[in-house]
Structure 1
Amino acid sequence: MSETAGAWIEQFEALSGLPQPLRDDLVNGSQVVEIPAGTQVFGPGQTADSLLLLLEGTVRVQQRSETGREVFLYRVHAGESCVLTTACMLAFEDYSADGVAETDLRAVAIPRATFDDLVGRSPLFRDFVFKAYSRRIIDLFTLIDHIVFQRMDVRLAARLLELADTDGVVRATHQVLGTELGTAREVVSRTLSEFQRRGWIAQSRGEVRLLANDGLAVLARAGGDR
């Protein structure tokens, strides 16, 4: 195994401490893969046969109801793994949600055989898996709390600040923002119109430009002061 082949481990601090024999087994039993933006990484009914550790890019995980409504669950960023994949691999269950590459991805695919072997043999690897799992579970409970108890304008303000690029532009339709927040497009449209009336944003087709981050930030913080 060359040094370059295992260099990706350094992006995961918890894994960089693996003893060399286990580190070699992890690298030799895994594969670095590249996935184009827009690709469905996994979908409902599919078998979870590899754990992906993201090196570059983001994966959006969402669930679709029987009526066709989509609800955003979470994003997986570089340096993270997908909690749904972890849960499915541990429980030998099929996926119940969609994972879509929002950007071009570079990731490490750890096949089930390697995953099962290291979970059984290495307390450090097992700790890495379950710590990542528990953090995301907490995030999901926070999401449920926000959907049930937090005002929509507060949630939308926070999400706009989160999604804005370096130029202060959110490239998303009202429908996409509704999916992000688990609400109807019409609710997002009304709330954005109010933000625009206040001078906080400007809207154009498929874009929202942030003009007054301070106003949005004050509103977003109001949700944390309940």
Structure 2
Amino acid sequence: MLSELQEAFGFLFEKELIDEIASTGTLKKVSAGEKIIEIGDYVTGMPLLISGAIKILREDDDGDELLLYFLERGDTCAMTLNCCLGQTRSEIRAVAESDTTFVMVPISKMEEWTGKYKSWRNFVFESYHSRLSEMLETIDALAFLNMDQRLMRYLRDKAKINGDENIQSTHQQIAYDLHTSRVVISRLLKKLELDGRISLQRNQIKVIDL
């Protein structure tokens, strides 16, 4: 675990903090599509991503999901941090976008390190800022972008997060993430293909316009 932490977070944290994370954290590996945190769960730790990607989702009263943002290597989830420090139930669902490895840090250490390590304190504050900015972008997209613009933004984000212009996803899954219907997504994907911005294959979308 130590070498993986050093590679993912060595540019952010001093060696002493890396050593403490390795000695107190729990290494976890999950497969693509696996739930990591469920809405309503009590969160007892904060994830530090070593590899892979996680998508963070909200759910409305009807059970429909909306994608808030993605987490990738070197990130953590500010929403999770907030639940940990406030000892409240999770208001988000975290699902592995791809095969993912992360270290779960216990609550007690998070508070201790905030006072002990300036690098940890800066990391926490920067994480809050980054996640807030991403949520504001999501709100702006809902308020100001047409669905075809939202869809293209979503496809580019997925391609970037996964490091692959070929996206393995069904039309229904995309519809869930964007809080719309499969019929709408299928129609807009066909339009984007006709415009030369994507190429459609079975359960795969190639993003041309990156």
TM-score (norm 2): 0.85
Greater C-alpha radius of gyration: 1
**Number of the residue aligned with 2:13:** 15
**Number of the residue aligned with 1:68:** 63
User: How much does 1:203 deviate?
Assistant: 3.1
SS of match in other structure, 1:14 = coil
RMSD after superposition: 2.4
Q: Does the 8 A contact of 1:147 with 1:182 survive in 2? A: no
1:152 aligns with 2:133: no
Q: Tell me which of 37, 40, 46 is aligned to 1:42.
A: 37
Q: What aligned pairs does 1:127-146 form with structure 2 within 5 A after superposition?
A: 127-146=122-141
Among all aligned residue pairs of Structure 1 and Structure 2, give the percentage whose two residues are the same amino acid: 27
Q: Tell me which of 182, 185, 188 is aligned to 1:191.
A: 188
Structure 1, residues 50-109: CA drift from partner, whole Å, max 9, x if none? 111010111111122121211111111111111211111122211012111222221111
- 1: CA distance between counterparts of 2:184 and 2:90? 30
- 2: CA distance between counterparts of 1:114 and 1:6? 20
Unaligned runs of 5+ in 1: 218-226
Q: Which amino acid aligns with 2:186?
A: S
Q: Tell me which of 139, 158, 169 is aligned to 1:172.
A: 169
- 1: CA distance between counterparts of 2:109 and 2:82? 16
Cα 1:201/1:37, change in 2 over 3 Å: closer
Cα 1:32/1:166, change in 2 over 3 Å: closer
Cα 1:132/1:65, change in 2 over 3 Å: same
